Structures are given as structure tokens and as C-alpha cells.
Amino acid sequence: MESVAVENKAFEEDIALPETVPTDKEDNVFNEEDNVPDIKKDSDAREVDGMTLSFHEISYDVNISNLRKKTTKTILKNVSGIFKPGMNAILGPTGGGKTSLLDVLATRKDPQGLSGVVLINGQEQPQNFRLASGYVVQDDVIMGTLTVRENLEFSAALRLPSSVSKEEKRKRVDDIIEELGLTNCAETKIGTPFIRGVSGGERKRTNIGMELVTQPSVLFLDEPTTGLDATTAFAVIQHLSRLSKKGRTIIFSIHQPRYSIYRFFNRIHLLSLGETVYHGSSENALEYFARIGYICEEHNNPADFFLDTIIFNQNNMRAIEKNPGLDAAENGSVTQTNESLTEIFKKSNAKQELEIESKHLIGNASVGSSGHVQIQKISYTTSFFQQLFIVSKRATKNLVRNPFLVIVQNVILFIFAILTGLIYFQMDLTRSAGIQNRIGAFFFVSMQQVFANMSGMDIFIQEREIFVHESANGFYRVSPYYFGKVVCDLLPLRLLPTILFSTIAYWMMGLKPEVDAYFIYVFTIVLTSFVATGIAFALSSTFKERAIATIVSGLIYILSMIFGGVLVNISSLPDWIEWIQYLSLFRYTINALSVNEFVGQTFCDNGTACITGEMYLESQNIRYTDWGLWQNHVALFCIMLGFFLLAYVQLRRIPKYK
């Protein structure tokens, strides 16, 4: 033990802690009575009531399927701990269960296969605790076309109740910008592959700021320093430390922080293959490892030392398991025992102290102690129409600031309209060519509308991560997000370009020169465009990968074309397959356009061999009397409604947990 003391003293003398770093013995000391830190008051600080989050015997198993059989993999095994207001870090090697434990504590894991208890200030964790806490994902999920301020204002507008005035919301956003050091980039766009934006650290702090809008007492972060350079990572952790000194419980997973970052940690939880290696004060961690025979060398980073020791112990345990007679290995100057670090921790005083405190918290939960903060059931703070307006406003900004898709789509449709008009320019009324050209034109126009709207498959695939993150964090309901995206997509990208295309092509092709026929034609093409968009939306909300969605859409469109009545005579097909025609959007579009064009027309060759449009429709079994025209529109509307409804259902079915 004397050697241990010498080593620790040398370590402390070599690198002195800065005064700004909180420790359990300075300005972030925990009050054992109410679990709230004694914080130095700052007139400008927005302090919150601290919360103590405790977890007891957490186990998590997942089912893994392979080609031969299904197996169960244990991710977490009987993990317990207590995280108080301050900086709480979850560390461990890759695959140790850091992110899984974080997600369990934040109620973002599938409850299937999960056991154990999570308490908030000794009280049962509410079912929708995710709405009361903040969660920052590892990969920054944020709208790149908006500025830093606009993203924060978006979060404030949706997550703060209507009782908070616009001025108060604006003031809160300004405070967060100043608090996180984002003043210089507040009016800068976050950035996209086509727009240069803020730096990685500013992007990460903006993500954090969006969660701080609600002033949560508990803030979760998954690998907050991933992808950042050393200086930027230090700045992010330093900002988090300042937030923790105002009463917040900051809980985050982190892989291998450097020493300047490690100094900010108040409590750490070390994991090895889903089991606890150590839980307690970061200051006492080196002393704990020294007591069990692992001494951190001078000038060595404690975080690196912990991970190296854990990995070494894992490898040694595997070797001993394969060869029980194997002698103990050596880790530097220290001899490794034949016992795993997890087993050593179970027998340690640190584990016993943790169990005593855990039993105290569980006991309070059973009797319902009145000294704890009660978390009421939380609902959305804004109405459906407020959410619809705010989400639609953001979608509109996103569209305006990323006009490439709008411009390209309109230009392509304009080119196709001219091309279609030139190919079928001023079609005559001859029996041989007039009828065939019109049917070909209707098929070509229908096909063009279907494939032109395949861009709709990107609408939910590209924003899938943003939608999952924001809906899980309580920004909005699924319905306003869906309807907002639909409205902002249909009007600028589907309706207006389709009307332009239809108008140009109709008069160039020389179709029936009647106003009512023209409007029916336009209505039919618009309806066809909406049906194709509905199919794209349904596939976009069902599949994560655009490649898979494209393959499935190809199957749908090919079957629809085959049974459209142009490529094959439907009446010649066997009964068991003929029914597919009733699902073909091409059939209803071509039938509607044919009835609109052929009724009242006469087609003749050399003025002798004539046939009326009605005669042709009868030969093709196309109904044109009574409401024969409108039944095709009703069918198209029903198909469109079905796919839009399917898209909404699939969007709701996307899990909000991992």
C-alpha cells in the first residue's frame, strides 16, 4: 500500500487539477439528505432542481437470429449504480454495453428482454420519462438548412407551453446561445452536403442546446466527443460541466477521453462485457484499482489505464477459461489474479456501499417518501395545429433553402412536356393512326407521371433519423409532422409542376379543343401524380434504404403497367390473375383519359372507313355512359388515399427506441 500511495502522490503532483474543475470536495459536494448539490449561486445561471437517477439490477438480453438458429445475447447483466447531479460518465471498451446502459436509463430501449428498476429521486421512473429529460444522440441529428438560432427556436416553439410568451421563448434561446458559446455562429446555417455550415463542436453544442430549451434536470448524451478534435471535445465537455454545476444531472457514455476531459467527471461507471467493474467517485477510482493490485503508472491517463486494464483482464480470463492450469499473466509490473474485475468489484467495499445506498432508495420508493421530486405524467405542450404550423414552416424553409430538387423537377417536367408535345404533335383523327397515337400518348403521359414522382421516396428516408429523434424527445406528434411534410411536398413538387406539364402537352398534342375536356385531363393527371406520390410515401416510411424502396416500387409499377390494358388484352387473361387490373393505376388513368378524349369524336381513313370514339371504347370494354368517367377518378382517389394512409401508419410504427 505504501507503493500505491507513492504512485498516486506522484500522479497528483505531476498534473494538478484546475480550479474550474468540479470535484466532490469543492463546489459540487452532494447533500446526502436531499440528493441536491450545494451549488454556488450565480445570478445569471439558470439553475434547476437536481435529480438522482438510480438503477438496480439492470439486465438486458436481445434475440439474435442467424441462418441456423436463434440465440440470446446478454448485453447488460445485473448492473446497478447511482448518478447524482454532476458529471456522470459511463466508460468501457467497445462492446461493453455503454450505449445500451445509457439508452435503458433514458427509456430508449425496447422493453422486451429488459429487467431491473430505474428510479428518479427514489420514485418510480414514469413511462414517458423521455419527455422530461434531454437526450443527445451520438450522430448529430439536426436540420442542416436552418441556422443555429432557428433550430433552437424550433425546439422552443414546440416544447415550451403556450403559457410561455414569445418574448420569454426568445430570451431563453438567447440565454442558451450565450451559455453554450454560440453567439458568433447563431445566424449561420448548420450545413448540408451542399451548404457550408458550422464546425463540428458548434453543431454538437447546438444539439445540446435544443435539449436544454426545456431546462431538463437530467441530460443524456451518447458519445458527445465522437468525431471531434481534441480541442473541440474539451470545449464540449467543459460546457457540460458548467451546466452540471447549475444542478443538472449529466449522464453520458464516452469511450476513451483524454486526461483533461477525465478531470471533469464526478462519478464514473466502468463496464466490462455488460457487467460493472467499478462505480463511484472518479477521484477514488485510481485508489480502488491500486488496492486490488493495479497501479496506474506515472504520466498515464487514468481513462486509458482503466480501459487497458479491463481489456487485459478480459483476455486473461478467456485464456484461463480455455486452459485452467495456465499461470497468471502479468500486466506491466503487476501480476494479474485469476479472478475477473467484475467478481472483484462484487466483493469490494465500493459495491457494499452502493448496495446500502441502493436499498435506501428502493425502500423510500416503497413507502413513498415525500422528500423527493415527483414527476407527473407529461403530455405535449402544444396543440396539433400549432405543431402542424411550426413543422410546415420548417419544411418550407428547408425547401426554399435547398431549391435544387424543385428546380430540377420542374425543368425535367418542362422538357418532357415539350418532348411529349413534339412526338405527338397535333394528332389527326384518322382511324389507323389517330386512335393508336392517342392511346400511346396516354400511356406515355401516365408512365412519365409515375416515374417523375419517385423522388417522393426520399422524403421520409432522408429525415428518418431526425423524425425518430424529435418524436422520441417529445417535439411533436406523428400526425402533424406527416401532414406538414405532405402539404409542403404536394403543392410545390407535385401539383404545380404537373399542371404546367399537362397544359403544355395537352395543347401541343392537339387533343379535344374543349375547355371542360382540358380541365378533366388536368384533373386526371394530377390525381395520377398524387397516387404515384402516395406509393412513394408509403415505401419511404416503410423502408430505411432507398435501394430497397426503389426495387419494390419497380415491381408495383411494372405490374400496374402490364394490367393497364395497353400492353395486354385483359379479357384474354385467366380469371385467377385478371383481378389485378383493379389495382392498376395505369388502367384507371388511361381509361379516364380515353373516355374524356374519345366520346364525341369520329375517326376516319380517307373519309370512308369511320369509327366513333364510343365504338372504340366499347371494343375495349371501357365504360363511358352514366358515371363511367368518374368511376375511374373515384378508383384513383381510393388508391391514393389507401397509400397515404399506409404511409401514415408505417410512420407511426417506426419504433422510438433502439
Tell me the backbone φ, ψ of residue 50, rounded to 5 degrees. Answer: -70, 150
Q: What is the pLDDT at residue 49?
A: 64
Say how far apart CA 633 and CA 526 lie, in whole Å. Answer: 11
Residue scoring higher pLDDT (239 or 36): 239
Residue 268 has pLDDT above 70, yes or no: yes
Question: Which residue in 528, 598, 533, 599 sits closest to 564, CA to CA?
Answer: 528
Does residue 190 lie within any of the structural domains?
no
Query: pLDDT for 82-139, tens place per residue?
Result: 999 999 999 998 888 999 999 999 888 878 888 888 888 888 877 667 777 889 988 8
Residue 274 has pLDDT above 80, yes or no: yes
Say how far apart CA 257 and CA 271 lie, in whole Å. Answer: 15
> Does residue 360 sit in the same domain as residue 397?
no
C-alpha dihedral, 535 to 539 to 541 to 546, nearest 10°: -130
Indicate the residue among 307, 335, 365 that finishes a domain.
Answer: 365
> Does residue 298 sit in the same domain as residue 348?
yes
> Does residue 124 sit in the same domain as residue 237?
yes
* 604: three-class secondary structure by DSSP: strand
**Neighbour-count burial for 385-404, b at 16+ CB within 10 Å, e otherwise:** ebbbebbbebbebbbebeee
pTM of the model: 0.81
Tell me the backbone φ, ψ of residue 86, rounded to 5 degrees. Answer: 140, -165
Say how far apart CA 80 and CA 77 lie, in whole Å. Answer: 9
Query: pLDDT for 184-197, tens place per residue?
Result: 999 999 988 778 88
Q: Tell me, what amino acid is at 530?
A: F
Does residue 147 lie within any of the structural domains?
no
Does residue 370 lie within any of the structural domains?
no
> Does residue 520 sit in the same domain as residue 415?
yes
- Residues pairing with 192 in the sheet: 195
Tell me the backbone φ, ψ of residue 75, rounded to 5 degrees. Answer: -90, -45
Does residue 175 lie within any of the structural domains?
no
**Grid cell for residue 652:** 407511426
Q: What is the pLDDT at residue 11?
A: 37
Does residue 85 lie within any of the structural domains?
yes
Does residue 183 lie within any of the structural domains?
no
Say how many domains are in the chain: 2
Say how far apart CA 175 and CA 243 lie, in whole Å. Answer: 12
> Does residue 332 sit in the same domain as residue 406?
no
333-341 contacts: CB < 8 A, separation 24 or more? 333/295, 334/293, 334/294, 334/295, 335/293, 336/293, 336/312, 337/293, 340/272, 340/313, 340/314, 341/272, 341/277, 341/278, 341/292, 341/309, 341/310, 341/313
CATH number for the domain spanning 325: value is 3.40.50.300
Report the range of poorest mean pLDDT among 226-240, 311-325, 575-589: 311-325
Does residue 517 lie within any of the structural domains?
yes
* 122: three-class secondary structure by DSSP: coil
> Does residue 317 sit in the same domain as residue 437?
no
> Does residue 349 sit in the same domain as residue 455?
no
> Does residue 321 sit in the same domain as residue 389?
no
Does residue 198 lie within any of the structural domains?
no
Q: What is the pLDDT at residue 22?
A: 40
Query: pLDDT for 42-75, tens place per residue?
Result: 333 456 667 889 999 999 988 877 666 778 888 9
> Does residue 308 sit in the same domain as residue 428?
no
Indicate the residue among 365, 398, 428 that finishes a domain.
Answer: 365
Identify which of 378-392, 417-431, 453-467, 633-647 has the greatest average pLDDT: 633-647
Residue 323 has pLDDT above 80, yes or no: no
Indicate the residue among 338, 365, 392 that finishes a domain.
Answer: 365
Say how far apart CA 157 and CA 148 lie, in whole Å. Answer: 14
Residue 577 has pLDDT above 90, yes or no: no
Query: pLDDT for 201-239, tens place per residue?
Result: 889 889 989 988 888 889 999 998 888 888 888 888 998
Report the range of poorest mean pLDDT among 16-20, 321-325, 449-453, 569-573: 16-20
Residue 150 has pLDDT above 90, yes or no: yes
Report the range of poorest mean pLDDT among 225-234, 511-520, 630-639: 225-234
Q: What is the pLDDT at residue 401?
A: 85
Query: What rounded mean pLDDT belongs to the chain?
Result: 83
Q: In terms of DSSP bridges, do strands 114-120 and 123-124 run parallel, antiparallel, or are they unpaired?
A: antiparallel
Q: What is the pLDDT at residue 337?
A: 58
Instruction: Residue 28: give the domain boundaries.
Output: 2-133+216-365
Query: pLDDT for 331-375, tens place per residue?
Result: 444 445 567 888 899 988 888 888 888 888 776 654 333 333 334
Kindly state the percentage of the chain with pLDDT values over 70. Answer: 86
Q: What is the pLDDT at residue 594?
A: 93
CA distance to 61, 186, 270, 328, 625, per residue, from 336 (Å): 30, 53, 18, 6, 91
> Does residue 360 sit in the same domain as residue 491?
no
The pLDDT confidence band at residue 264, using thresholds 50, 70 and 90, is very high
How many other β-carbons are positioned within 10 Å of the β-carbon of residue 646?
A: 17
> Does residue 318 sit in the same domain as residue 289?
yes
> Does residue 397 sit in the same domain as residue 361?
no
